[in-house]
Amino acid sequence: MYRLDEKRKELLHFIEEASDQEASVKPEETRWSILEVLEHLYLMEQMIIYQINQTLKQEDKQKAIEKPIHRATNREYKVEAPESVRPNSEFQILHDAAEGLKKTCEATLLHIHNKDEETLKKRVFPHPSFGDMDLKQWIEFIGWHELRHLDQLKEVKASLQSGNNVLLKHKPPEPLRLRGLGHLLFFKICRFHFFSIFSSIAKSPACPCGYKHHY
């Protein structure tokens, strides 16, 4: 119904065709590497599913008009990515990124498999560009968000292979890396920060994706 599998397969196919050497290289200092883009997608899906679960627990029922979320693929518009979904060197090789994305997709499908469409349409939370979106559209947004970044991944790979730029190996930062239950605690702590940023971004022109990605 949401075509998440279909869009994820396109992403995984790209990963299969890339090499670990090029995946860890930034085309420019201010642009994300392939691994960093993949980590952003991984964090983003976890954050969305966490918020969907929290929203489903609420008794308050609302409806939102359908939003043109397919416009999220338009990369001409960029806004700042909240720190909670910025890459932090979680993945060191493409295999780790692929496995992480497979697990988040499985978790997403597990959480929504027994949720009927009407239930999802009666719960909403805000997107920085589109405003209030129901949970059904939030699930669909995961796929559109991935397609947006799939285009970015292809551009990064093409830039690296062109040989017209200085290749910069990205260096893992020092901060503590959280895994497993630590990730869940991290998302709970970041929830207020994440949606505070969402609210501030919504007041100014923003891309349909909602996040500025470091190109």
pTM of the model: 0.75
Cα separation of 140 and 1, whole Å? 9
**Could you give the CA distance from residue 194 to residue 135 in angstroms, rounded to a whole number?**
18
CA-nearest of 36, 38, 29, 37 to 165 is: 29
Backbone angles phi, psi at 137, to 5 degrees: -70, -30
Domains and CATH numbers, the chain: 4-202 (1.20.120.450)
pLDDT at 182: 47
Q: What is the rounded CA–CA span in Å between residue 1 and residue 35?
A: 29
The secondary structure of 79-120 as a DSSP string is -PPPGGGS--S--SSHHHHHHHHHHHHHHHHHHHTT--HHHH
pLDDT computed for residue 79 by the predictor: 67
Side chain identity, residue 112: I
What is the pLDDT, as a whole number, of residue 212? Answer: 46
Please list, in sequence order, all residues whose beta carbon lies within 8 angstroms of the beta carbon of residue 148, skipping any fewer than 6 positions away: 72, 73, 74, 75, 209
- Angstrom distance (rounded) from CA 11 to CA 188: 28
The string of DSSP letters for 33-44 reads -HHHHHHHHHHH
* CA distance linking residue 156 with residue 34, whole number of Å: 7
Paired tokens of 212: 């500025």
- Are 201 and 192 spatial neighbours (Cβ–Cβ below 8 Å)? no
In angstroms, rounded to a whole number, what is the distance separating the alpha carbons of residues 96 and 106? 15
C-alpha 76/C-alpha 138 separation (Å) is 21
Please give the average pLDDT of every successive group of 10 residues along the chain, which has 215 residues.
Answer: 81 95 92 96 95 89 92 82 89 96 90 87 90 94 94 94 58 47 45 42 39 42
Per-residue model confidence (pLDDT) at position 197: 37
CA distance 74 to 77: 7
Q: What is the pLDDT of residue 163?
A: 66
What tokens does 178 get? 């959280």
